[in-house]
Amino acid sequence: MYRSHNCGQLNASHINQEVTLAGWVQKSRNKGFLIWVDLRDRYGITQLIFDESRTDKAVFDLAATLGREFVIQVKGTVIERESKNPNMATGDVEILVTELTILNAAQLPPFTIEDETDGGEDIRMKYRYLDIRRNPVKNSLLFRHKVAMEVRNYLSGNGFIEVETPVLIKSTPEGARDFVVPSRMNEGQFYALPQSPQTFKQLLMVGGMDKYFQIVKCFRDEDLRADRQPEFTQIDCEMSFVEQEDIIQMFEGLASHLLKELKGVETGKFPRMIYDEAMKKYGNDKPDIRFGMEFGELNAVAQHKEFAVFNNSELVVGIAVPGAAAYTRKQIDELIEWVKRPQVGATGMVYVKYELDGSLKSSVDKFYDAEDLKKWAEVTGAQPGDLILVLSGEAYKTRTRLSALRMELATRLGLRNPEVFAPLWVVDFPLLEWDEDSQRFHAMHHPFTSPKPGDIALLETDPAAVRANAYDLVLNGNEIGGGSIRIHDKATQALMFKYLGFSEEQAKAQFGFLMDAFQYGAPPHGGLAFGFDRLVAILGGQETIRDFIAFPKNNSGRDVMIDAPSVIDDKQLDELHIRLK
């Protein structure tokens, strides 16, 4: 027993007790005849006091040698503090130390172990074990654990069974790039790491498991964008004998449970929006509805005038930015430059200031009079004091650009409060999306997603119009979960593979086991997967996932702490029947 209590436990009720504590030296203050040490562990900080007049000399002298992050054990008496600290759980007391043992000395850490550290991203990743000592990271990992426990309690309580599916599976060319694992025992062959347990969970439904879930690592060998990880965690779920409504009810229940238990937030019933509406209103299939700035389509009121730019555009669309009529010319020019950045890609932007006195001034006064602009204000819902910003061009791209602008403005205006939670179901996604590169349709969700039964006939005539039984759960502008009702009969699945450009042989080679399974009594089924890293980060009020992952990799897929990946022995390569190119 290294300790009788932890460093967050002692308070006035323990005064006069003899205790043993162990932990890290957060800091010490030496006033010559008095030394204070803040002793830290996972649970808190307790103040130690060494008093020249009351402490054994050897102990006092040893205390004077303690450096930051030394690991020590102390015995002593809990006494009342002279100057209490009401901000600390242990702030009423301190320990008058009688015995001190240095369990492990410490070098000076390469950055300060404080909430606000002086360490940059790179050095903190290299010494991640020190970064984890800092409250922001430590608390994020504790929070992640709590979320996982609540997820399991909710799902298990609702009859779901956690089943572990294999990590060493089969590579398929569909979807993102696989990580592969050469097989030693099967020469020339490779396992793949799962991008998701999709086919296995469907097979569990064929196997009658009825309600499955798993908090599970998944893998994608993609070029890493910011805040993407090559290995990530999903809450993977599937249910049998369900329709879309059953799934939405169940997982709205889960999300509500998490918001209530972890954030104390009661959201009520989640709103729903069809995909087409989300694109029209927000230019985005995962709209952040914590704030307004809904799109107003201006074709009817802005075209057929003298302004060729608008007349030649498929779509003219604007938003009203609340209170922004007061922006200076310089501020507005900066916004125009912002939308012209390559990441956004607009070629220009029209603005209208709707002044508080009701007058309207625009950058296109040459073409539009006050009557015209009044109509724009009506369509965009602008109020006096607002700034109307208008983009135009090809419809899809223009919506996407205006969406980026809307999000940027909301951030600038402080409308994206991380402690406000606005969930939203987006439903009726298209089944297919056209891919310019390969000049064919791809599955928008994945090839196992069921088309809406009424739309199946459209597969022949208008594939882009086929809607899927697919749905996303959006929280604060992030897709936190997505899923679909699956195809459960061989004929429809074969048809789907055909429309996706698979030959019969390819479909059989890659997914024959699934289509076979469908012949032995597959129930109707569907499911959903949450991105767990993202879900935890958003619930934790953060924008980035990195602090919610104990040992993340950098943007080159490297773990800079352990220095992986790394070269391996020729002997290992030999055994695996491969060599380097």
With CB under 8 A, what is the number of residues at the site for a copy of itself? 124
Whether 445 has a binding-site annotation, put simply, is yes
Whether 229 has a binding-site annotation, put simply, is yes
Helices 532-539 and 135-157: angle between axes, nearest 10 degrees: 110
Least distance CB 29 / a copy of itself (angstroms): 19
Q: Which of 50, 60, 70, 351 binds a copy of itself (CB under 8 A)?
A: 70
Residue whose CB is less far from a copy of itself, 205 or 402: 205
Binding of a copy of itself by 165 (CB under 8 A): yes
Residue range at the interface with a copy of itself (CB under 8 A); choices 84-92, 117-125, 184-192, 306-314: 184-192
Q: Which of 33, 396, 434, 513 binds a copy of itself (CB under 8 A)?
A: 513
Other residues' Cβ atoms within 10 Å of the Cβ of residue 524? 16
Binding of a copy of itself by 574 (CB under 8 A): yes
Least distance CB 463 / a copy of itself (angstroms): 26
What binding mask, one character per residue, do residues 473-492 give for a copy of itself by CB under 8 A, x or -?
A: ---------------xx---
Binding of a copy of itself by 568 (CB under 8 A): yes
3-state secondary structure (DSSP) of residue 311: helix
Least distance CB 28 / a copy of itself (angstroms): 14
Binding of a copy of itself by 111 (CB under 8 A): no
Residue whose CB is less far from a copy of itself, 162 or 277: 162
Comparing CA positions, the residue from 104, 83, 105, 102 lying closest to residue 92 is 83
Considering only residues 530 to 559 of the shown chain, the ones binding a copy of itself according to CB under 8 A are: 549-551, 553, 556-559
Residue whose CB is less far from a copy of itself, 126 or 353: 126
Residue range at the interface with a copy of itself (CB under 8 A); choices 50-58, 65-73, 87-95, 408-416: 65-73
Comparing CA positions, the residue from 445, 504, 498 lying closest to residue 470 is 445
Residue range at the interface with a copy of itself (CB under 8 A); choices 129-137, 371-379, 436-444, 465-473: 129-137
Q: Are 550 and 141 in contact (CB under 8 A)?
A: yes
3-state secondary structure (DSSP) of residue 258: helix
Q: Which of 54, 152, 272, 416 binds a copy of itself (CB under 8 A)?
A: 152
Residue range at the interface with a copy of itself (CB under 8 A); choices 135-143, 252-260, 408-416, 452-460: 135-143
Q: Are 401 and 345 in contact (CB under 8 A)?
A: yes
Binding of a copy of itself by 118 (CB under 8 A): no
Binding of a copy of itself by 167 (CB under 8 A): yes
Binding of a copy of itself by 75 (CB under 8 A): no
Whether 355 has a binding-site annotation, put simply, is no
Q: Are 123 and 90 in contact (CB under 8 A)?
A: no
Considering only residues 205 to 244 of the shown chain, the ones binding a copy of itself according to CB under 8 A are: 206-211, 217, 219, 221, 223, 230-231, 233, 241-243
Q: The tokens of 188 are what? A: 């020339």
DSSP assignment of 462-479 equals: -GGG-BBSEEEEEETTEE
Query: Torsion-angle region of residue 16: left (phi > 0), alpha (psi -120 to 50) or beta?
Result: left
Q: Are 297 and 281 in contact (CB under 8 A)?
A: no
Binding of a copy of itself by 136 (CB under 8 A): no
Does the N-terminal peptide bond of residue 565 adopt cis geometry, omega within 30 degrees of 0? yes
Binding of a copy of itself by 408 (CB under 8 A): no
User: What's the distance, Cα to Cα, between the start and end of the chain in Å?
Assistant: 55
3-state secondary structure (DSSP) of residue 264: coil
Whether 222 has a binding-site annotation, put simply, is yes
Whether 174 has a binding-site annotation, put simply, is yes
What binding mask, one character per residue, do residues 8-27 give for a copy of itself by CB under 8 A, x or -?
A: --------------x-x---
What span, in angstroms and rounded, lies between the C-alpha atoms of 12 and 48? 15
Residue whose CB is less far from a copy of itself, 173 or 454: 173
Which class for 435: exposed (0-12), middle (13-18), buried (19 or more C-beta within 10 A)? exposed
Considering only residues 326 to 365 of the shown chain, the ones binding a copy of itself according to CB under 8 A are: none
Burial call 181-215: b when 16+ CB within 10 Å, e when fewer: bbeeeeeeebbbbbbbbbbbbbbbbbbebbbbbbb
Q: Which of 86, 120, 188, 342 binds a copy of itself (CB under 8 A)?
A: 188
Residue range at the interface with a copy of itself (CB under 8 A); choices 68-76, 283-291, 337-345, 383-391: 68-76
Q: 């086991």: which residue's tokens? A: 513
What span, in angstroms and rounded, lies between the C-alpha atoms of 581 and 579? 6
Least distance CB 478 / a copy of itself (angstroms): 20
Q: Which of 87, 120, 505, 567 binds a copy of itself (CB under 8 A)?
A: 567
Contacts of 507 (CB under 8 A, 6+ apart): 494, 497, 498, 515
Binding of a copy of itself by 579 (CB under 8 A): yes
Sign of the four-CA dihedral 192, 193, 199, 201: positive
Q: Which of 58, 64, 168, 420 binds a copy of itself (CB under 8 A)?
A: 168
Residue whose CB is less far from a copy of itself, 209 or 265: 209
Q: The tokens of 189 are what? A: 């062959």
What span, in angstroms and rounded, lies between the C-alpha atoms of 383 and 362? 15
Least distance CB 235 / a copy of itself (angstroms): 13
Q: Are 245 and 472 in contact (CB under 8 A)?
A: no
* Sequence ranges of the binding site for L-aspartate: 174, 220, 445, 486
Output the known binding site for ATP. 220-222, 229, 479, 531-534
Binding-site members are 174, 220-222, 229, 445, 479, 486, 531-534
